Chains A and B, each alone.
Chain A
Amino acid sequence: MSGVDTASLIVFALVAVLVSVLAWRHTRSTTVDFFLAGRRTGMITNAGAICGDYLSAASFLGVAGAVYASGLDGVWYATGFAAGFVPVLLFVAAPLRRLGTVSLPDFLAVRFGSAQVRVAAVVAVELVILSYLVPQAVGSGVTWELLVGRGIAGLSPYATGIVVSTLAVGGIVVIGGMRGTTWNQALQFGFLLAVAVWLSALLWAGGFSYPAAVEQASAAPLRMVVDDRLVAVSSQLSGAPARFGDPGARYSAIGQVALLVTLVLGTAGLPHVMNRYFAAATGRAARTSTVWVLALAGGFYALAVMLGTAARVLVAQRADEPWLAALTVDGVLRVPEHALLVLGRLLAGTPGLAVVAAAAFAAMVSTIGGLLLAAAASFGHDVVARIWRPAGGPREAVVAGRAAVLVISVVAAGVALWVDPERLLASFPSVIAAMVTWAFALAGSALTPAVLLGIWWREATARGAVAGIWTGAAVAIGALVLGLVIGPDPSGGLSAVLLAPALIAAPLSAATIVVVSRRDTGPPVSDRLWTRMHGTAADRQAERMARITLRGRR
């Protein structure tokens, strides 16, 4: 490790600590005022917290891994993850906040005035959370494998990583230590972004050029490791050998559309991200925060794409280093998810690896924590406290929520143990990103249509919403199972759509809602509720109160 790298690492650590301390001291006492007044500081903090919940192992390791493995087709993940906030910005953020509920199932239940909608939404939410947890656990396994490289108590390193992270986060949530406050989440995102910027700065300082790297990576046909051998990837578009900078390495034309639609629709149905919207001061603040989310997440994903590309070039150049040779076959990584971690070590030695691994664990811990809390809240609060045993009181809801956390994290860990990334590698070159797509598909198929139609179509009724949620969830799950069973087919069209099923399932779900609502004679949404959701008077009142508060500050 050169002296420059050490110096930069120390500077990075100092700046990170300083910023954290300053932010901690400053934000605790005053930022809530900025939130209230709709000031920029408040917006950015809130946006950072949303990003902190949103950016997970999938974003940090997965996007770079997908770009590493599939080139341009991996970039679609970055595009889709960032673009998912566009529908949220345009159609969801402000009305969601204005209705003033506390969670996604709660929102749907209040909008449709029905306990059945609540139950359906909770089931969908738990399914989304479960399928989102699995790739996070896989990510922690992969990181542990590379950082520690040793297993505990006879487990493989990969299994150890999963067990440790599940026990740690699940335990913390169950004991009740983790609250996922806005400050923590925002700081955690700041750390991730800082790591990405730091790696990029090191790259640029070393004379890296993105266009040149793309050209260099595209010079030879794209290859991947299957069973310890290098296999040329053939393009799904033309059948010719695929290249890094050209589309088709992973998806056919319809597959690319399906993936993008799935990712864009999915975000609006992610429970742990949408829950954060209820924290904005006003509906307008929720919308403005989303603009910042787009900017921050867009910047982060742009860097992630660049880092993935850099890994492709640098790993090939330095594959003869002994530690790297063990992870590669002829200059290509066995597990693409290692790309960012390896890049960290290439750029800044072992400390670099440690920093990237710390960021990856931070991303996973905060996202897993957010997911588990959302799971606990929606089960304990929405189902037990409101439907099963309303007389039970909050204590019973907490117990039920903790039980839900335990069950769901054990199930997720079990699935992650069963899914060994090296085994799935042949069909899914970037397994974390691919698995996250399934969670997005479920969310986008089951929840997003109900949320969008509930907000923008007055005649949508409770029966319609229930039917839509069940239809979306059933079609999405059916398509995913079918897609996994038939595996990647040579033409690539069918299985690609089946594995990113929101393209079919979301329109079906929306159509179900429309048809059932049209035939339903139930009462339409009340004027009062509709005005609360879409009216801006309450926003203006809140902003006026905030101005009054701030006027007196000296």
Chain B
Amino acid sequence: MMRGVGPLVAAITALWGVIAVISQVVAEPPLSPVATMIAGVVLTNVAIVGYGSTLRGPRQQHNRAGAAPGGDPDRAEDQDRPVGLTDDVVDAAVTLLMPLLGGDAVSITDRSRMLAFAGPGHDHHARGSALYARARDEVLATGRTVTVSGRGEDVIGCPEPGCPLRSAAIAPLHVGSEVIGSVTVYRGTHEPPEPDLVEAAAGILSLHLAVAELQVEQQRNLDFELDALRAQINPHFLFNTLNTIASRIRTDPEDARQLLVRLADFFRYAIRHRGQLAEFSQEYAFVRTYVTLEQARFGDRLHVEYDIDPAVLGVEVPVLVIQPLVENAIKHGASGNVGRTTVRLRARVDPLSGMLQVIVRDDGVGMHAATHAAVLAGVDPQDDGGVAMGNIRARLELLFGDRHTFEVRSEQGVGTTVRLEVPLR
């Protein structure tokens, strides 16, 4: 952002110097301050505007040129790399293993390339170089640990004549039952390193890989849960809204058009948003869109009050959590109630605990004791709203662990209150 501003600053400084000299020293009599100021301001503006537009052109080209060659190969290379074997991790691993395993050099490979190498010979066994030892193919194929001794084609197989390595023990890296790479310990003598030790180290590394895999799995679970919720955005809601719109098309076409546009907004947000978290302001806008659609259907029977401290607007919250809560409240309140119903959405930041608090309250029929118990237990009851509750509960659990609160309190005839607290990142 500040790049390239230096010359402009220098130019403006020089410009004013020149103006000062011309107007006060050269001109006879010296110009009045007003005239000098006008001339200076006009010239400065010209310099800024002109400089800005010349600056914009080349900078964009620079960015495009920089992005193309740098970005793509990296990604291609990373695609077949096992989860958890990032450059940092393997570098740290070989440096740590070196003194433990009683060898002169240590390497980690995936199925086709060298990932990291520490010790003598690192100049020609660098990251990304080809794998030479034939014995490694056997390890990768069978999953057994193998030791080799001697230079030459059959054993270490390094084509570099000056390579100091003479023997090696090669152990497989597993994820589940699949062999995804190898750990090799080399020695400069013909006596190979202890294979059990190498195998044990490879086992520990495999465990790390399994944990990494598990984390990816967990992330995937989160995404699945969210997708599931997206897929089940209540079809009843869609039908009801479409019916409302259909009934308005004759009586109030403009209103109907507005509603259709908002319905499109609603689904665009619900389906397109990527990622597990969104700023509260976006979720709030989504809730508002939803409520407008519901209000078109219920009319004056539905009243929604918002009590939101603007301090919460920038806080990141899990997506599609607040809207289903409001949807449940409206369902419990408006559908069962003949009279007017009020839903309250309240949001506060508690700076002391560093938590965001969201409360959704309705004055509807409340839940039966059995349904309530089922919701509290996290079991999905028959009610549509309950499915969303289970889903929300699962996602909150995965995202925040025990760093959140999710309470449902309900009393028949009085209403239901849902209280949600999530940490501010």
B424-A36 in contact (CB<8A): no
Does any Cβ of A come within 8 Å of B308's Cβ? yes
Does any Cβ of B come within 8 Å of A528's Cβ? no
A35→B352 CA distance, assembly (Å): 24
Interface mask (A97-132 → B, CB under 8 Å = 1, otherwise 0): 100111000100000000000000000000000000
B424-A456 in contact (CB<8A): no
B311-A181 in contact (CB<8A): yes
CB A194 to nearest CB in B, in angstroms, measures: 22
B313-A397 in contact (CB<8A): no
B1-A534 in contact (CB<8A): yes
Binds A, one of B126-134, B138-146, B237-245, B285-293: B285-293
A377-B352 in contact (CB<8A): yes
CB A44 to nearest CB in B, in angstroms, measures: 12
Binds A, one of B21-29, B163-171, B276-284: B276-284
Known: A36-B281, A176-B352, A397-B353. A29 touches B307 (CB 8 A): yes
Binds B, one of A152-160, A275-283, A477-485: A275-283
B308-A32 in contact (CB<8A): yes
Does any Cβ of A come within 8 Å of B152's Cβ? no
Does any Cβ of A come within 8 Å of B217's Cβ? no
Does any Cβ of B come within 8 Å of A267's Cβ? no
A111→B228 CA distance, assembly (Å): 35
B285-A545 in contact (CB<8A): yes
Task: Report B-chain residues with C-beta under 8 Å of the C-beta of A280.
Answer: 310, 313-314
B352-A548 in contact (CB<8A): no
| Residue on A nearest B400 in the bound complex, by CB | A394
From A32, A180, A385, contact of B354 by CB (8 A): A385
B285-A548 in contact (CB<8A): yes
Known: A101-B425, A397-B353. A181 touches B313 (CB 8 A): no
B284-A36 in contact (CB<8A): yes
Interface mask (B287-323 → A, CB under 8 Å = 1, otherwise 0): 0110010000000000001111111111110000000
B353-A182 in contact (CB<8A): no
| Residue on A nearest B354 in the bound complex, by CB | A381
| Residue on B nearest A286 in the bound complex, by CB | B314
Interface mask (A181-203 → B, CB under 8 Å = 1, otherwise 0): 11100000000000000000000
B282-A542 in contact (CB<8A): yes
From A45, A106, A456, contact of B2 by CB (8 A): A456
Count residues on chain A whose CB falls below 8 Å from chain B CBs.
Answer: 54
Of the candidates A46, A374, A549, the one having the most CB atoms from chain B within 10 angstroms of its own CB is A549
Q: Chain B interface secondary structure, helix, strand, loop or mixed? A: mixed
Task: Report B-chain residues with C-beta under 8 Å of the C-beta of A28.
Answer: 305-307
Does any Cβ of B come within 8 Å of A376's Cβ? yes
A32→B285 CA distance, assembly (Å): 10
CB A396 to nearest CB in B, in angstroms, measures: 10
A373→B354 CA distance, assembly (Å): 10
Interface mask (A15-38 → B, CB under 8 Å = 1, otherwise 0): 000000000000011111101100
Known: A31-B310, A181-B309, A393-B402. A102 touches B355 (CB 8 A): no
Does any Cβ of B come within 8 Å of A551's Cβ? yes
Within 8 A of A (CB), among B163-209: none
Within 8 A of A (CB), among B258-286: 258, 261-262, 265, 269, 279, 281-282, 284-286
Task: Report A-chain residues with C-beta under 8 Å of the C-beta of B285.
Answer: 36, 545-546, 548-549
B310-A182 in contact (CB<8A): yes
From A32, A393, A402, A548, contact of B289 by CB (8 A): A548
Within 8 A of B (CB), among A278-299: 278-281
B258-A180 in contact (CB<8A): no
A445→B357 CA distance, assembly (Å): 35
A45→B309 CA distance, assembly (Å): 11
Interface mask (A512-554 → B, CB under 8 Å = 1, otherwise 0): 0000000000000000000000100000001001101101110
A402-B313 in contact (CB<8A): no
B311-A380 in contact (CB<8A): no
From A102, A176, A374, A545, contact of B281 by CB (8 A): A545
Interface mask (B349-375 → A, CB under 8 Å = 1, otherwise 0): 111111100000000000000000000
CB B69 to nearest CB in A, in angstroms, measures: 16
Of the candidates B2, B279, B307, B310, the one having the most CB atoms from chain A within 10 angstroms of its own CB is B310
Does any Cβ of B come within 8 Å of A137's Cβ? no
B313-A552 in contact (CB<8A): no
Of the candidates B281, B402, B423, the one having the most CB atoms from chain A within 10 angstroms of its own CB is B281
B281-A380 in contact (CB<8A): no
B351-A100 in contact (CB<8A): no
Task: Report B-chain residues with C-beta under 8 Å of the C-beta of A180.
Answer: 351
A546→B279 CA distance, assembly (Å): 12
CB A304 to nearest CB in B, in angstroms, measures: 27
Does any Cβ of A come within 8 Å of B348's Cβ? yes
Interface mask (B367-407 → A, CB under 8 Å = 1, otherwise 0): 00000000000000000000000000000000000110000
B351-A35 in contact (CB<8A): no
A373→B310 CA distance, assembly (Å): 17
| Residue on A nearest B264 in the bound complex, by CB | A548
CB B396 to nearest CB in A, in angstroms, measures: 14
Known: A546-B281, A548-B285, A552-B258. A102 touches B425 (CB 8 A): yes
A548-B265 in contact (CB<8A): yes
Task: Report A-chain residues with C-beta under 8 Å of the C-beta of B403.
Answer: 393-394
Given A35-B310, A380-B352, A398-B352: 11 more A-B contacts, CB < 8 Å: A28-B305, A29-B306, A29-B307, A101-B425, A179-B349, A276-B311, A373-B352, A393-B403, A394-B403, A552-B258, A552-B262
Residues of B within 8 A of A (CB): 1-2, 258, 261-262, 265, 269, 279, 281-282, 284-286, 288-289, 292, 305-316, 348-355, 402-403, 423-425
Leading 5 A-B pairs by shortest Cβ distance: A279-B311, A381-B354, A552-B292, A545-B285, A549-B285
Q: List 19 A-B contacts (CB under 8 A).
A: A28-B306, A35-B313, A101-B425, A102-B424, A179-B309, A179-B350, A181-B311, A182-B310, A183-B309, A280-B310, A280-B314, A376-B351, A377-B352, A377-B354, A380-B354, A401-B353, A534-B1, A548-B285, A551-B261
